[in-house]
Structure 1
Amino acid sequence: MPDPIDFYFDFASPYGYFASLRIDELAAAHGRTVTWRPILLGAVFKVTGMKPNLEQPLRGEYLTLDAGRIARLLNAPFTFPDSAPVNGVAASRAFYWLADEHPEQAKLLARALYHAHFAEGRDIGPADTVAEIAARSLGSLGIDRAAVSAALQDQSVKDRLRAATDEAVERGVFGSPFVIVDDEPFWGWDRLEMVDRWLATGGW
């Protein structure tokens, strides 16, 4: 079996959100699976010296235009949250709490968090909000708010997120989304077509 495709993203990234709507389906068409890996771009930016796109002159204004345009292209539910760029620490910790033993549940949670943020405009930064969304989306699987809230304060969960972000930097990840196919890196939502072609042809 070929190795899974690595999908790095930050919950604050609208481009990561758009990629999340398609990446698993794209990979499955080529007989591949996807490992989702949320990271904190704030830590990455300390290495690159960049600022969040929304805080950059001209680029921030373009981002708000571009995100809406992509949403219309995909017919995807979208609203630009007032809380953007959101702090994704709690959301990412909740993901990694589930990911190792229950990767599909973790993906369900990531999708629910992304939807709450970019489709409903909710601020998913507060731990209480993350716990509420997790309980609502995964309650049928026995996940409750108290368990999520406790996990967010667990040192091993905190360390897991930190290690994931450090590993991403070591692999050359510097943005969201960032897809790695068999050590071949692709940055940006608009590179998914290239990823599709790469998988179909074996590269060029």
Structure 2
Amino acid sequence: MGDARDDPNLFLVDPDMRGILPLDDFHIPKRLRRRVKQEPYRVSADTAFTRVMEMCAESSDGRETTWINSTILNLYSALHREGYAHSIECWDETGALVGGLYGVALGGAFFGESMFSRATDASKIALVHLVARLIEGGFTLLDAQFHNPHLEQFGLIEIPRADFKRRLKAALEVKADFYCGRSGPSGSFTGSGAVHRITQMS
């Protein structure tokens, strides 16, 4: 990651305690569950990867700086072109991109990198759709990297570095599919379908 948006340097982060979202115990709060089923936004995957990254890098309420610099943007865009980095997007009725997230898939592990929201619950809905997709695609590990109070409502847990590396080693041996058997990014879950897929697992 980078220290700031205008800093071209990168450094590796390997915390003593790692935040993960257990895919077999992911929790959707009741209010959000109803909201997801109402489908307030159109949800897509991998249709606006670079734009999602750019919006994650923009300043917003409570966050004036970002670790996403131009070097990271270029590197992750290259990973996206190679099929390793992916995004989930939420669009409102006017066609505006109002929420989303991105991360990297390796084997059965997905490394969540950043998310943004410009409308009520948009990033949360993107996360629910991501988890449904990961479960359907056979993933076994969703790395959130750090403890984040915002993610506690979804069942975030912290595990020691050694435990994380054991789980990661096993996950990297898994043959998972972000597109869930489809030939490309077309097709997404309905809101009800996403909730159902997750509750089947948990």
Q: Shorter-chain TM-score: which interval?
A: under 0.3
Q: Which has the higher helix share?
A: 1
**Please, what TM-score do these two structures have when normalized by structure 1?**
0.26
**Please, what TM-score do these two structures have when normalized by structure 2?**
0.26
